[in-house]
Amino acid sequence: VSLDKARRLLWPIKQKYGQKISWADLFILAGNVALENSGFRTFGFGAGREDVWEPDLDVNWGDEKAWLTHRHPEALAKAPLGATEMGLIYVNPEGPDHSGEPLSAAAAIRATFGNMGMNDEETVALIAGGHTLGKTHGAAAASHVGADPEAAPIEAQGVGGATSYGSGGGAEAITSGREGGWTQTPTQWSNYFFENLFKYEWVQTRSPAGAIQFEAVDAPDIIPDPFDPSKKRKPTMLVTDLTLRFDPEFEKISRRFLNDPQAFNEAFARAWFKLTHRDMGPKARYIGPEVPKEDLIWQDPLPQPLYQPTQEDIITLKAAIAASGLSISEMVSVAWASASTFRGGDKRGGANGARLALAPQRDWDVNAVAARVLPVLEEIQKTTNKASLADIIVLAGVVGIEQAAAAAGVSISVPFAPGRVDARQDQTDIEMFSLLEPIADGFRNYRARLDVSTTESLLIDKAQQLTLTAPEMTVLVGGMRVLGTNFDGSQNGVFTDRPGVLSTDFFANLLDMRYEWKPTDDANELFEGRDRLTGEVKYTATRADLVFGSNSVLRALAEVYACSDAHEKFVKDFVAAWVKVMNLDRFDLL
């Protein structure tokens, strides 16, 4: 609420500087400037965010149909969503489902802040820091508030929330519905939030808008009225503010910050920087003079390169990999396992760093191939000493694909850009990297759980995380199936009599009307394709395979590659899409 108005206030700055700063950078910079104007010392600022010019249509907002529907923390654990109630940014400030109970809010707070990668200390610092400044606005009932910006009349020009209560601004403003202030100096940084939190006794009350909040019953009127200097009020707190006092673990942190304001300042500065830079990826992507020099573990830091492989080195390494005894399936599978952790949303994961060889990735069920293949590649790395393990893993995929293409009668050189480095275990946050473990990876016919969406939807979600288009997803799945890269070595989707050959057999046989498909399990996850004439079972498949014949868009793409003259195009398209995935985290190549 009111962010439409905040954006209007920033428009003259954006208009003046135009393409010199993105809206995304300007929003965050404005937050830093506000903190600095209050007397707070921020940790730093990195520019480099890009603007998106159309809304995301692929965001999973949850299954709720009603606005402000409460989500249980257990439900959030199954499908981690950003907010604990549909339509809110984080948690309900009145407690779960408007309970008004501070203790009951602890689980919801941990769930939603945990999904942002925040621990308890960072969570306390962010809540308290955000409520050290400003006030809440709830002068009257929400029924006075008009339509949101998108639903407002055309003459409102994108400004929503017009109210029928007084002027609608200042002392008569209605935004969150809560009303009051936390600290004695709402425009100056202080430690008053914690001082007031622990000094006074709090009683539940309601704002003029009817929202549940707490008021310090034994406090004098010490909170300045921002619109009338002659007036002062009692301090108020949100239900979720009091969680920081009454939850045992949050309370320990809050008392430490109460007694050590500098520790609070440092914790908030770092947590604010993390919150506002978490989705930017490695520090190498940051721009500007205020980028902190310190490497932070949540940035997934990487060491400086130790190797600069020459073209001769690459030839030597490819020969060593080819002579290692690894199969095409193993070489391609290990490269995919390394690179496919990349997420376009926050630029985490990818092949750079060779974290496939580290905990927790080396122990994921989906990466079972790593236990067989990595020791071989590590020996090559140690013996030749010409490249990082990260480069050698990707190079193994190059060797496998070139061999598979040659077996199909197509000579092609798979582009390879050396320069990756190997991360250390102490540069890898095991808990945070555990969040990259896939629920499903349809490219490898992997699915860990059946209680989250459909298999085909999860395949598309994985492709979206990898920034792949529908044609790129299609050609990669078709190629990987005939190369036998299923995570468990199963034959599901391997619609070919010559596995290891980079052929178009997956598409040709999937679209062959000779075969009739029927489910073989109650969940309709596994299928068998029988010859309509003989009744013989020819192939088995998953939903991630059959979707390329059932979905009209994907079937049209599959038909392109199933044509008799599409073989060379298929190989070239597969290589192009493959190289894209291998280089998704190579920001140094941009």
The CATH code of the domain that includes 375 is 1.10.520.10
Indicate whether 295 belongs to any domain: no
- Mean pLDDT, residues 444-466: 94
Gap between the Cα atoms of 179 and 205, Å rounded: 11
The model's confidence at residue 80, banded by pLDDT at 50, 70 and 90, is: low
Contact 484, 497 (CB under 8 A): no
The alpha-carbon radius of gyration of the chain (Å, integer) is 28
Q: Looking at residue 449, what is its pLDDT?
A: 86
Dihedrals phi, psi of 232, to nearest 5 degrees: -140, 160
Dihedrals phi, psi of 158, to nearest 5 degrees: 85, 10
Looking up tokens 């009349």 gives: 153
- Mean pLDDT, residues 149-171: 93
pLDDT score of 320 more than 90: yes
Describe the chain by its helix, strand, coil percentages, rounded to 5.
Answer: 45, 10, 45
Residues 405 and 457 grouped into a single domain: no
Gap between the Cα atoms of 519 and 524, Å rounded: 5
Residues 383 and 490 grouped into a single domain: no
- Mean pLDDT, residues 268-282: 98
Q: Looking at residue 154, what is its pLDDT?
A: 97
**108 contact partners, CB below 8 Å, separation of at least 6:** 73, 84, 91, 92, 96
Tokens of residue 145, six digits: 């508030």
Which residues are 174's β-sheet partners?
138
- Averaged pLDDT of the chain: 96
- Looking from the CA of 267 toward its CB, the CA atoms found within 13 Å total 24
Looking up tokens 């020099």 gives: 293
Gap between the Cα atoms of 102 and 278, Å rounded: 28
Indicate whether 155 belongs to any domain: no
CATH of the domain at 448: 1.10.420.10
Separation in Å, CA 175 to CA 31, 34, 52, 143, 205: 19, 20, 27, 11, 18
Domain that holds residue 450: 440-589
Residues 18 and 137 grouped into a single domain: yes
Indicate whether 298 belongs to any domain: no
The last residue of one of the domains, among 417, 435, 453, is: 435
Residues 445 and 542 grouped into a single domain: yes
pLDDT score of 382 more than 70: yes
Dihedrals phi, psi of 68, to nearest 5 degrees: 65, 25
Which of 105-114, 287-296, 536-545 has the lowest average pLDDT?
105-114
Tokens of residue 346, six digits: 């926050």
Q: Rounded to the nearest 5 degrees, what angle is found at the Cα of 209, between the Cα atoms of 173 and 170?
A: 15
Gap between the Cα atoms of 473 and 456, Å rounded: 12
Q: What is the DSSP letter of 81?
A: -
Indicate whether 306 belongs to any domain: no
Residues 94 and 199 grouped into a single domain: yes
Q: Looking at residue 115, what is its pLDDT?
A: 85
Tokens of residue 491, six digits: 């034959």
Q: What is the DSSP letter of 305?
A: P
Q: Looking at residue 527, what is its pLDDT?
A: 99
Residues 495 and 386 grouped into a single domain: no
Indicate whether 302 belongs to any domain: no
Which residues are 181's β-sheet partners?
135
For the four alpha carbons of 126, 50, 20 and 6, in that order, the dihedral sign comes to negative
- Would you call 232 exposed, middle or buried from its count of C-beta atoms within 10 A (0-12, 13-18, 19+)? middle
Each residue of 400-411: pLDDT tens digit?
999 999 999 999
Q: Looking at residue 86, what is its pLDDT?
A: 81
b/e 295-304 (16+ beta carbons within 10 angstroms → b): eeebbbbbee
Each residue of 231-274: pLDDT tens digit?
999 999 999 999 999 999 999 999 999 999 999 999 999 999 99
Residues 51 and 93 grouped into a single domain: yes
How many domains does one find in the chain? 3
Tokens of residue 470, six digits: 């529908």
Residues 333 and 213 grouped into a single domain: no
The last residue of one of the domains, among 285, 301, 327, is: 285
Each residue of 213-228: pLDDT tens digit?
999 999 999 999 999 9
Residues 456 and 374 grouped into a single domain: no
Q: Looking at residue 87, what is its pLDDT?
A: 82
Residues 375 and 248 grouped into a single domain: no
Q: Looking at residue 75, what is its pLDDT?
A: 66
For the four alpha carbons of 92, 97, 98 and 103, in that order, the dihedral sign comes to negative
Gap between the Cα atoms of 126 and 327, Å rounded: 51
- Would you call 337 exposed, middle or buried from its count of C-beta atoms within 10 A (0-12, 13-18, 19+)? buried
Indicate whether 304 belongs to any domain: no
Which of 115-119, 282-286, 293-297 has the lowest average pLDDT?
115-119
Each residue of 472-483: pLDDT tens digit?
999 999 999 999
Residues 470 and 426 grouped into a single domain: no
The model's confidence at residue 37, banded by pLDDT at 50, 70 and 90, is: very high
Q: Looking at residue 305, what is its pLDDT?
A: 93
Residues 60 and 196 grouped into a single domain: yes
Q: Looking at residue 89, what is its pLDDT?
A: 83
Cis peptide before 360 (omega within 30 of 0): yes
Gap between the Cα atoms of 94 and 239, Å rounded: 5
Which residues are 519's β-sheet partners?
527
Gap between the Cα atoms of 90 and 113, Å rounded: 8
Q: Looking at residue 56, what is its pLDDT?
A: 80
The last residue of one of the domains, among 374, 402, 435, is: 435
Indicate whether 294 belongs to any domain: no
Instruction: Name the residue among 516, 507, 505 with its Cα closest to residue 548.
Output: 507
Gap between the Cα atoms of 196 and 216, Å rounded: 8
